[in-house]
Structures are given as structure tokens and as C-alpha cells.
Amino acid sequence: MTDTFDFIIVGAGSAGCAMASRLSEDGTNRVLVLEFGGTDAGPLIQMPAALSYPMNMSLYDWGYSSEPEPHLGGRRLATPRGKVIGGSSSVNGMVYVRGHACDFDTWEEMGAAGWGYRHVLPYYKRLETSHGGQTGWRGSNGPLHVQRGSKWNPLFQAFKDAGEQAGYGVTGDYNGERQEGFADMEMTVHRGRRWSAANAYLKPALKRGNLDLIKGALVRKVLIENNRAVGVEFETGGEIRTARAEREVVLAASSINSPKILMQSGIGAAADLSALGIDVVADRPGVGANLQDHLELYIQQACVQPITLYKHWNLISKAVIGAQWLFFKKGLGASNQFEAAAFIRSKAGVKYPDIQYHFLPFAVRYDGQAAAEGHGFQAHVGPMRSKSRGAVKLTSSDPRSKPSIFFNYMSHEEDWEDFRKCIRLTRELFGQEAFADYRGKEIQPGDHVQSDEALDDFIREHAESAYHPCGTCRMGAKDDPMAVVDPECRVIGVDGLRVADSSIFPLITNGNLNAPSIMVGEKASDHILGIDPLPASNQEPWIHPDWETSQR
């Protein structure tokens, strides 16, 4: 293998796999992908229903956690990031959400010119093959397969019916013209397997002779000469090696590791770098700043009928489901079990949804711990646009040391109001007639938790990350002192270097971040190759006509 390439991509995650495929597509560019993790083979990753396992395994996860969060009682929250081929798309919940049209128009208003909804919609269409989505709004021959569940459990329909009974709208496709409303949830599953960015993009592309992948490669820093990125230094198998890039180096190492690598390379807040003995190449105070995430609560209700996933929470049932999946790629093992969803607005005057629901016919935690009560169902609910901001910082100049990750969760007074609203709106939903035949007692928070103070105590103790960190290498105008990359993903102040992953989001998008991360990889590929962007769309997304005066 040569040590010189046209492009070097750091990170084989959601965006990195997409770029590896697109940059190597014409067969002439020599592309190298460096990934610290290893293989994604095996049922724990490939079987959709096993999703709680890889996220909690050191083999597949970087093992990061937040600093003690002062507004959450000093708790350290887990911050899993995929350390495996496919990155976090190989360990996530497989939920597919593009984001709301207004999210991307806001990006453009914040200085990310050319990233409005009309510009990104064509890339969403290019990347996906939608099974059952809205015609004209969805892709039909892209590498990423997106499907809906079998809706095997009557509770999925009850959730959607309850939304209608409570006066909310229903949408046939929240990734189409209209996000707002109750809907079938979409998942990145294809033929019964997790359809990660590795399965969709990287593995087919690796059949080309011009794409190389090195697994087990820890990138130490970007090599910069005369203010230009010329390659990377990485450690693999106990030795330190270098690879040269004749055209560009692209960081796609996650919203935690991309800023970390930039700072290790001398790009970041000058005072912080100097304090660690790192030579400053470019003083960019925005590197690591603007950290955002979604928090969520699990509102759990007992179920009086024995129809939930709890009946399969035993070794015999798990073995049967596993065997059925292993041999036929069918059955309960072929779904992530998130098959119903909703996006609603918290109050009148909010233009587009700011609350997301995942519904699950089971009362269980993300780490796979079942509720002791037995049969139950739950809604994962949380606000979409918290004003709280945190930061990722280096703790040492040693590339092997973990960074400091401080989200500063719930530091804004509105966060508390929003979460209390989430709990009360969910209780109203679960109180609808659609749930009458199933509804037992409220497991959590519990009927006794009613006052603002009691709800705040519950939030402080039980709010969990939805694992959507982003924003730490914010995209913006070249003259914006806090922007890290320009609207073509080029690092401001250094030539030949780009960042393209969820770290460049100026504002967190509505919903799960896998889809927009892949979209960033797709769009960045055209910028990197110097290709004209896809023609802008003139399709107009649906906005609630009475949003100024009505909550639903």
C-alpha cells in the first residue's frame, strides 16, 4: 500500500462512509479511510433488536462520559460514540429522521449559505431508497434503505390514535412534506439487518481498487506545513505512521473526536492550546464550543394486558427470536421496536415541532434494564431545541487521553419549562380513550409527582441523553470568529483541511442525527470534488396554518 493518497478521511462513521464511497466513485482518486474501531460483523450489531448491546460494549464504543452536570445533580451522563466500522450508525437505535425543513433554513440564516432546506432536500433524495415514504419527497434509488416496522403490536396504533383523540394531526411521512403529527417511525433496516453507513456505502465501495481502509488506526494529529494540511499521523499496531494527502484531509470523526483532533493539531482556542504545550496553527475559539444534545425522559405506564415485549424478556424467548433472525432475518429481531413516533409543538407561537416522541411497547431503559413491574409501555420524550450549550476540551496533549465533555445540560430556565410541558402532554396522551384497554398505573414519574418542584426533581434525576451530540465545529460565514468551517466545510485558516460530520451543525436538528450526518457527507463530497451542488428544490414543506394561535 502506498503512503500517499489524494484524500484521507478520518473516521468510518455516518458521514465518513458516504464520503469514502463518493470520493472513490470515479475510480481515479486514491482514498484512504482511517478508523480506530474494528469489524462490525456479528449479530449484536447486525440484528436490529439487539441495539442496546453494542452501545454498552467497550469493543464498539469509545467509552466517553460527560463531566459532572451541575444542573442534573452532578450526574455524569454516558456519551457513547461508535468505535467500529460504520461509527455510530453501527451502534445507534436505527431511527431515521431527516430533520425539519426549518432547521436547515435556520442553518442558512446562521451563516451556512447553501444549506437551506431547498439545498439539502436533493441530497436526502440522493442518499435514500425509501420503502413506503411519500412519493416526490423521498429518494428511490439511493444506497441507504429506509423502511417501517410491521406494527405487530396494537400499542403502536393506540399511540397514534391517542394523538388524534388529543387533537393532533397525523402525517403519512414525517420525512416527507409534513413532519408535524403522529406517524409510523422509520428505521435504517434492510432485509432484516441494520442498514448502517458501512453496509450502505463503505462495503460496496471497498471493492474498488482505489479505496483503502485501515482499522485500528488512532489518528494523533493532522500534519500541517505552511498552513496547509498535508497528511495525518496515526498509531496502529503499536507504531506511529504517517500518510500523505495530495489534495485534502477530511475529518469525519464525530462531534467529540473531530474537535479533539483539530485541537491536537494546533487548531483551536490559542490560550487553551498553549497551556497544554501545543503549537498554535490557527486560533479558532469555536473549536469544541457550541456543543448541543437532546435530553429525553422515559414516561412509563403499566400495561394491564400481557402483550408487551416483556413477555419475551426471558432466555427461551430471546433464543427463539435470535434463531428466527439468524436463519430467516425475520421476526421481532428484525425491528428496533421504535415503530410509532410523533413531532408536536409545545405551545402556540412555536412555528414548527419542538418535541419528539419515540414510542416503545415495553418499559425498559436504554441499557437494556427492564422495569421490575412487568408489562408496560413508554414514550421517550424531550425538547428539540434547548438553548443550553457546552464544550469539548482537551485534558492533555496526549492523543490517547479522553477529552473533557461538558454539555451544561438544563442550564437555561426554558429547559425546565419545556420538560415539564413534555411530561404533562404525555400524561394527557396516555389518558386518551385509545389506551383505555391497556392502561395500568403510571410507573414513572408516578401519580404522586405533580407539582413543578416534584417534576423538576424527577427531571434532574432521570433525564437521559438521546445521544445526539453535535455542533462543536460549527459551520458559518468566513468572517464569523466562532465558525470553524465555511459553508463548503473547509476549516477556516488552514488549507486542504475539511470537517464533515455532525460537528459542523450550527443548530441541532429535529430528531435523530444519523440522517443529517449522512446528508452532510453526501453534500460535502460534491464540495470536495469541486462538483456543482445538486439543483435546489422548489418544494414547499407543510407548516401548521394556525401555528401562531394554536398548539395543535
Enzyme catalytic residues: 468
In 131-194, beta strands by DSSP E: 144-148, 181-184, 186-187, 189-190, 193-194
Read off the DSSP letter of residue 488. Answer: T
Residues 6+ apart with CB under 8 A from 435: 158, 162, 301, 429
31 is in an annotated binding site: yes
26 is in an annotated binding site: yes
Helix axes 413-430, 452-462, angle to 10 degrees: 100
323 is in an annotated binding site: no
87 is in an annotated binding site: no
121 is in an annotated binding site: no
Phi then psi for 517, rounded to 5 degrees?
A: -65, -45
7 is in an annotated binding site: yes
The whole-angstrom separation of Cα 395 and Cα 435 is: 50
25 is in an annotated binding site: yes
Please check whether residue 36 is in contact with residue 235, taking contact to mean a CB–CB distance below 8 angstroms.
Answer: no
453 is in an annotated binding site: no
407 is in an annotated binding site: no
14 is in an annotated binding site: yes
22 is in an annotated binding site: yes
C-alpha cell at 75: 450526574
Q: Give me the residue label for grid cell 389518558.
A: 431
The whole-angstrom separation of Cα 306 and Cα 283 is: 60
428 is in an annotated binding site: no
Residue 471 CA: distances (Å) to CA of 42, 82, 91, 244, 475? 32, 18, 20, 28, 8
507 is in an annotated binding site: no
C-alpha cell at 268: 483551536
536 is in an annotated binding site: no
Burial 417-455 (b: 16+ CB within 10 A, else e): ebbbbbbebbbebbbbebbeebbbebbbbeeebeeeeeb
* 3-state DSSP percent of the chain in helix, strand and coil, to 5: 30, 25, 45
163 is in an annotated binding site: no
410 is in an annotated binding site: no
20 is in an annotated binding site: yes
Instruction: Report strand pairing: 239-251 vs 228-236.
Output: antiparallel
216 is in an annotated binding site: no
Residue ranges of the annotated binding site for FAD are: 6-35
Residue ranges of the annotated binding site are: 6-35
